[in-house]
Amino acid sequence: MRFSLIVSCAAASIAVACKSTGGKTSGNAELSPLVANSSIKADNMVNALPGEAEVQAMREAFFARPAEPEEVFRVFVTSDSYTRKQIAYTETLSVKEDATGDQSIADEFRKFDMVNSLQEGQIRVELYPTTGKFYRVRQTKPSVMKETDKIMSDDMTRWQFVFLKNEIQPKDFRVSYQVLLRKRITREQALKILSEHNKKKK
């Protein structure tokens, strides 16, 4: 899935909302539970904006899941926040705090806040065994949106690892992530974006 499909779906969802409310979008639409990596379609996107309580619940549910094999970190991102949790190797590995970089990644997703969607993926990180520097970062479980996966893969390369016992451990591990997109644009904004996107295609 690419940005162009989100633009088209966002505009279509606005049209559906307007048709059902006599030309005005409803601010009291019911919030359907978001399922990770569900297909983004115009007919299922007329939902209320997830509130802070819902966002917190999704974050906590993601972090509370049982760890998968080789999984060491989890990251939950919205356009407002970036939260990382380490779930393994806490005695040998940590990541330097980088609040500015975290917020920069969160800001990257503002342009995608045209739909309510929960994206989930997983990245494999391999380190050089002698230096602990990045050897390879690759997608192992992609989400349904290529742009999300690229941003999160690029995000991994800015992490600065600290090895607490002067040994590179682990050298090969997984990072899981969820990215929550929230439909924050108005009907006018959606139509403007769609119009600009169509002009670029000509």
The pLDDT of residue 20 is 41
Helices (H) and strands (E) in the chain, counts: 5, 7
Closest of 181, 149, 151, 185 to residue 55, by C-alpha: 181
Q: Take residue 193 and report the two structure tokens written for it.
A: 């974006």
Q: Which residues of 117-139 are buried (b: 16+ CB within 10 A; e: fewer)?
A: bbbbbbbbbebeeeebeeeebee
Query: What would the pLDDT profile of 27-46 be if each residue is shown by its tens digit?
Result: 444 455 788 888 765 544 44
Q: Residue 110 belongs to what domain range?
A: 3-201
Q: How many CA atoms lie within 13 A of 53 on its CB side?
A: 1
Rounded (10°) angle between helices 187-201 and 3-20: 140
* Range of weakest confidence among 45-49, 55-59, 127-131, 144-148: 45-49
Domain count across the chain: 1
Pair 139, 176: CB distance under 8 Å: no
